[in-house]
Chains A and B, each alone.
Chain A
Amino acid sequence: MRNALAAEWLKLRTVRAPYGILATTGLMVVAGAALSVLIVQDYDTSPAAEQARFASADSSVVITPVVQFLAAALGALVATSDPRLTALTAVPDRTRLLLAKTVLVAAVTAVLGTVTLAVSTGTSWVVVGDRPPPIAPWESLGDALPWASAAVLSILVTGLAGLGLGLAVRSTVVAVVVVGVLLWGIPAITPMLPQPWDTDTSAVMVPYLVWQVSGVAEDAPLGPVAATAVLLAYAVVTIGAGAVTLLRRDA
């Protein structure tokens, strides 16, 4: 297992695409910080009545969906970037190969998510300074932890979903498109469904699950435990689909 994991890590480090994903993530963090600054500047020059209607200047809320997508692309890359013939000749134990890829994607996306959320929430905290709510998203930095933790978990889950879908469909492009539809396409449609389907279906969409996992959403259809289980189910189902393809089909 250690050798298979070392090989997967080396494979990831020796192609360009992951560095593009890292650079894009960094760019998103910087863009998010710039957005926080612009919101705060606008806030400072607005009348008190308008200030009371401002949204929070927490940039992590804006960039998390993009980082989820980037994590999914990373997972799909780990699944599909090397021809199976070479990968399976080197590591013919497919269960071990699957485990190595899963551990790698989980570790890398967990670090990616943690660093991204730490920097973006920290930056937002500094930019907002001692301004009051609603532009201040938290009373103390510790209040950011539930949302940030849920966001990191969602980034890890979408990374694993990218891996599972990549293994299942054996195509980076198709896997990334499917994740895009799951993250942005379907959640844009579900609120338009008639009641109670709008609430029921939206509650199990990744963007809404993050809020429910964090426990900060008022009147959420799902509690944090149920929402966490549904979020994790995305990873379990997609990795399961990838496992079926990898373990049962010819290379």
Chain B
Amino acid sequence: MIEVRNLTKRYGGTTAVDDLSFTVHSGRVTGFLGPNGAGKSTTMRMVLGLDRPSAGEALVGGRRYRELTHPLRHVGALLDPSAVHLGRRALDHLRWIAASNGIDRRRAVELVEQVGLGGARDKRIRALSLGMRQRLGVAAALLGDPQVLMFDEPVNGLDPEGVRWIRDLLRGLADEGRTVFVSSHLMSEMALTADHVVIVARGRLVKETSIGALTEKGSLEDAYLDLTTGRGL
């Protein structure tokens, strides 16, 4: 479970996240929706302890991420597939991440096969396509077999096969009882993947509800645009 409580992030005079509170429960895919600049990525970064909140807190399984001794055994995240050393081989990338959290190195070999990169495991990351880098990022997120997973725009740049692979993966992880939190701009994709949505705009919570309740009167896209343009349902 992820708990975000009165989370606020200010950069000088700009408030990127404004007193945001919501809870992401286990056993379902929760979509995190909002326009560009709504504060989705900043919120995810604060959950992962990458950025310090100006106020409020974010807890994963009741604890702050920075306090976790082996965080990757609790939380797996893919925020930016380009946040890698391009000169390192794919398998070595997973091996150092595994080593940092005391995860058996064989797990890196298992996962590189599981995400379909077995044939590319010894290639340097700069030689991998965007889709392959996304898969490598997913493998890194799954290394510690975590209960909580966070993905920021996971289908960006993927071909249809990759999109379906991610969708099936997210659904499968939620069906296993894990907490899956996914940000996306793609309403059609969220409509197919998410069970629940948290919608933000200008750093503030606009709506937290189930997909079913949101789409009672129309498509997810219509409901989203109504909410984020301030007209309400």
Contact = CB atoms under 8 A, between A and B. Distances in A.
B87 interface: yes
A16 B100 contact: no
Contacts of A89: 48, 50, 71-72, 77, 79
A180 B5 CA distance: 47
Contacts of A48: none
Interface residues of B, number: 33
Given A3-B102, A82-B85, A89-B77, A14 B92 contact: yes
A91 B100 contact: yes
Nearest to B93: A14
B88 interface: yes
A85 B97 contact: no
Contact of A251 (B45, B82, B92, B95): B45
Contacts of B65: 92
Contacts of A82: 84-85
A81 B102 CA distance: 22
A91 B88 CA distance: 19
A6 interface: yes
Nearest to B69: A93
Contacts of B233: none
B79 A15 contact: no
Contacts of B50: 84-85, 88-89, 250-251
A220 interface: no
A166 to B, nearest CB: 14
A89 B46 CA distance: 11
B164 interface: no
B48 A90 contact: no
Contacts of A4: 100
Interface string A59-80: 0000000000000000000000
Interface string A79-123: 001111110111111000000000000000000000000000000
Q: Taking chain B's interface residues, is the majority helix, strand, or loop, or is none over half, making it mixed?
A: loop
B51 interface: yes
B48 A92 contact: yes
Contact of A7 (B82, B83, B96): B96
A82 B100 CA distance: 14
A107 to B, nearest CB: 17
B87 to A, nearest CB: 5
A85 B83 contact: yes
B171 interface: no
A14 B92 CA distance: 7
Contacts of B92: 10, 14
Nearest to B100: A7
Contacts of B222: none
Contacts of A86: 83-84, 97, 140
A14 B51 contact: no
Nearest to B52: A250
Nearest to B82: A83
Contact of B80 (A14, A85, A90): A85
B80, B85, B87, B140: residue with the most chain A Cβ atoms closer than 10 Å = B85
A92 B97 contact: no
A14 B88 contact: yes
A10, A15, A83: residue with the most chain B Cβ atoms closer than 10 Å = A10
Contact of B97 (A15, A17, A90): A90
A21 to B, nearest CB: 14
18 contacts: A3-B99, A6-B100, A7-B96, A10-B95, A10-B99, A11-B85, A11-B96, A14-B88, A14-B89, A14-B93, A86-B83, A89-B48, A90-B71, A90-B97, A92-B48, A92-B49, A92-B66, A92-B71
Interface of B: 45, 48-52, 65-66, 68-72, 77, 79-80, 82-85, 87-89, 92-93, 95-97, 99-102, 140
Given A10-B95, A83-B85, 4 more contacts: A3-B102, A14-B88, A86-B97, A89-B48
What 6 pairs across the A-B complex have the smallest Cβ distances?
Answer: A7-B100, A14-B92, A83-B83, A251-B50, A250-B51, A90-B100
